Amino acid sequence: MSTIEHDSTGLSEDDLNKDEFFRRVAEIADEMCAAHGKEFAMGTLVLAARWVASDRTTAGQQTRQ
């Protein structure tokens, strides 16, 4: 885990990377809401969280092999 600061906010490289993922997820959620409604977006994000929790992601499949 990196603790080197890279910007004026004092955030580490790891924190900046996480912030970028949050930004991307928010952007996708906004797109889903606009295209199919809030319920669809929430349901999709909940299903994605369950998918991650059950190790069904590509990364989870690699750790089981």
Q: Where do runs of H (alpha helix) occur along the chain?
A: 13-36, 38-53, 58-64
Q: What percent of the chain has pLDDT over 90?
A: 66
Which one, of 42, 48, 47, lies nearest residue 29 by Cα? 42
Beta-ladder partners of 12: 5
**Tens of pLDDT along 28-54?**
999 999 999 999 999 999 999 999 999
One-letter amino acid for residue 64 of the chain: R
